[in-house]
Amino acid sequence: MAAATLVLAVVSASALPGAPGGAVQEVTADLIPAVPPERVSPRNLERITRRYLGTRYLRDALGEQQGPDPDPVFRRDGVDCQTFVEQTLAEALATTPAEVRCTLIRLRYHGGKVRLDRRFHYCLPEWLDNPWPVRDMTRAIAGRRVQQLRVTIQRERFLRRRGCSPEVARQYPPLSVRTHYIPSTSVPWLQRRLPDGGIAVFILRVPKAFGMAGHMGWLFRRGNHVILRHASQRQGRVVDESLLGFLRRGQHRFRGLVVLQPDVARWRG
């Protein structure tokens, strides 16, 4: 087979973003892309994410362009913490700028079906339970310091609150989730093990019925220190700040973090 390129087929041409009607129904991959590992190298991820520094924070920035969440499926004028990670990762994976939008849809929706109930709302566990291009490094980093948390996510209640019909929402029963995390108090001792170009998902001290993750961002090394590059609601924009400083300020909100490493071998876009 010739060198792989990403070939994306859209169920309906009129359903493309920006096409008449504006609705995006589904994006499918005719060919699984063979993404070179260097696309998610720390250097490339740092370069891509750096372009977003100063971009305004916009809560729930992306949607389905129709239905309960009519926000666009792609935008660069505003991001929240999760869409910042998803969109910059899509830019890294896409082989051309024209493919970023479709790659982002594949990252955000199960099977590329653009519906509110098919969105990966819960990065933990949905990113790890699907062919998503990251692997969990938490236990390897934490060793004996690792801790475990179990929660039950009330998916039906969450989807109904977001505007899904009762008929759709009831198809999603409660989801029991177990995750390992690094306690915030252990991070100073372990920060040299944190991967350059990794993703930090911060675990709420008091988990909610709608999930355990409360924030996320990119990790980049600066000598012996680690910075967190993230869409900060407090500062109203994408910023760089010390990871340890962020954890100190958030000690009453976050109990620790899960660390993910981009891995194109898991990507089945």
For residues 255 and 204, the answer to whether their CB atoms sit within 8 Å is: yes
For residues 169 and 121, the answer to whether their CB atoms sit within 8 Å is: no
Q: Which residues of 55-79 are buried (b: 16+ CB within 10 A; e: fewer)?
A: bebbeebbbbbbbebeebbbeeebb
- Residue 28 has what pLDDT? 58
Residue 131 pLDDT greater than 80, yes or no: yes
Residues, the chain, total?
A: 269
- Residue 134 has what pLDDT? 98
The rounded distance, in Å, linking the Cα atoms of 242 and 235 is: 14
Mean pLDDT of all residues belonging to the chain: 89
The rounded distance, in Å, linking the Cα atoms of 147 and 138 is: 10
Stronger pLDDT, 158 or 25, i.e. the higher one: 158
Residue 196 pLDDT greater than 50, yes or no: yes
Phi, psi of 59, deg, nearest 5: -65, 135
- Residue 210 has what pLDDT? 84
Closest to 66 measured CA to CA, from 107, 32, 19: 19
Quick: pLDDT tens for 212-266. Answer: 999 999 999 998 899 999 999 999 999 999 999 999 999 999 999 999 999 999 9
- Residue 26 has what pLDDT? 65
Quick: pLDDT tens for 42-73. Answer: 999 999 999 999 999 999 999 999 989 999 99
Quick: pLDDT tens for 135-173. Answer: 999 999 999 999 999 999 999 999 999 999 999 999 999
pTM comes to 0.89
Domains of the chain: 7-121 (1.10.3670.10), 134-266 (2.30.260.10)
Residue 198 is inside which H or E element, if any? strand 198-208
Residue 91, helix vs strand vs coil: helix
- Please state, in angstroms and as integers, the Cα–Cα distance from residue 104 to each residue in 66, 116, 133, 173, 174, following that order: 17, 15, 12, 26, 27
The rounded distance, in Å, linking the Cα atoms of 258 and 256 is: 7
